[in-house]
């Protein structure tokens, strides 16, 4: 069985090749190693192989793992965040990819201010209007953009999406295109840059890179199946 270090090697190569294919600089694509459900020993193996950026989807799990690993690691929250966990989460995360409502954005802004922090956030977009998924609907985001930009503690990086699962990555390409085009439109509308696109997972990260992803969130292809 391939080791975590081997898997990381393969993923990094595939990222570089996808970037090259689409005329992009590989350094413009970050790899977020999604370590949810895997123990800190597995994360340490990835750290030993040079990985320092990790993603978790639950605050509780992050709170358990973060203290037992190097303080030099950067953690990104990628799962739905309940308002009552914001205060615990903010001091230990480098960024939150799952800001999925104006209410949560307001809470992060207020608590960020109380804690003296300027949280880095991505706005999660529910592109297929799936009722089972969180996220802003595109029209809603356009309407609420001014209010989001007025939340002056938030350091809005860009957009994030989790498209409907399709084993055939080509089927997902259109969602990545829609997210990029929405980003382009919001940049014009809001008059502020939204440079980051958090999109692409184990089965479709190469397509996401071809469509402009700046951070791919890869779990099972690194750590194994969950
Ligand atoms: C679990 C998860 C991932 C990683 O999924 P894999 O298919 O294991 O690569 C990426 N993004 C989010 C939001 C996740 O919850």
- Ligand 1 in contact with 51 (CB < 6 A)? no
For residue 219, report the phi and psi dihedrals to the nearest 5 degrees: -110, -75
Q: What is the pLDDT of residues 10-43, one digit of tens each?
A: 999 999 999 999 999 999 999 999 999 999 999 9
For residue 2, what pLDDT band results from cuts at 50, 70 and 90? confident
- Evaluate if residue 52 carries a pLDDT over 80: yes
- Evaluate if residue 1 carries a pLDDT over 80: no
- Ligand 1 in contact with 219 (CB < 6 A)? yes
CA gap 207, 6 in Å, rounded: 22
- Ligand 1 in contact with 76 (CB < 6 A)? no
Between the CA of 46 and the centroid of ligand 1 the distance, in Å, is 16
Between the CA of 189 and the centroid of ligand 1 the distance, in Å, is 30
Q: Catalogue all structural domains in the chain, each as residue range(s) with its CATH number.
A: 4-223 (3.20.20.10)
DSSP string, 83-136: GGGHHHHGGG-SEEEEE-SHHHHHHHHHHHHHHT---EEEEEE-TT--TTS-SB
For residue 176, what pLDDT band results from cuts at 50, 70 and 90? very high
Across residues 186-190, what is the average pLDDT?
Answer: 95
């Amino acid at each position: 069985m391939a080791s975590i270090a081997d898997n990381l090697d393969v993923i990094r190569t595939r990222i570089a090749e996808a970037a090259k294919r689409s005329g992009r600089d590989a350094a413009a694509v970050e790899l977020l190693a999604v370590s949810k459900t895997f123990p800190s020993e597995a994360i340490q193996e990835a750290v030993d192989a040079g990985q320092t950026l990790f993603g978790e989807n639950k605050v509780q799990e992050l709170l358990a793992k973060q203290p037992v690993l190097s303080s030099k690691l950067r953690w990104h929250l990628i799962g739905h965040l309940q308002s009552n966990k914001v205060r615990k989460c903010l001091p230990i995360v480098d960024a939150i990819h799952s800001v999925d409502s104006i209410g949560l954005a307001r809470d992060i802004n207020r608590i960020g201010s109380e804690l003296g922090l300027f949280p880095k956030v991505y706005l999660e977009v529910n592109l297929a209007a799936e009722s089972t998924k969180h996220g802003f609907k595109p029209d809603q985001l356009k309407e609420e953009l001014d209010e989001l930009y007025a939340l002056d503690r938030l350091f809005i990086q860009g957009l994030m999406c989790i498209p409907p699962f399709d084993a055939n990555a080509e089927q997902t390409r259109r969602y990545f295109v829609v997210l990029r085009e929405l980003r382009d439109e919001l940049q014009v509308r809001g008059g502020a840059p939204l440079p980051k696109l958090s999109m692409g997972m184990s089965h479709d990260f190469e397509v996401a890179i071809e469509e402009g992803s700046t951070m791919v969130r890869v779990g099972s292809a690194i750590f194994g199946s969950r």
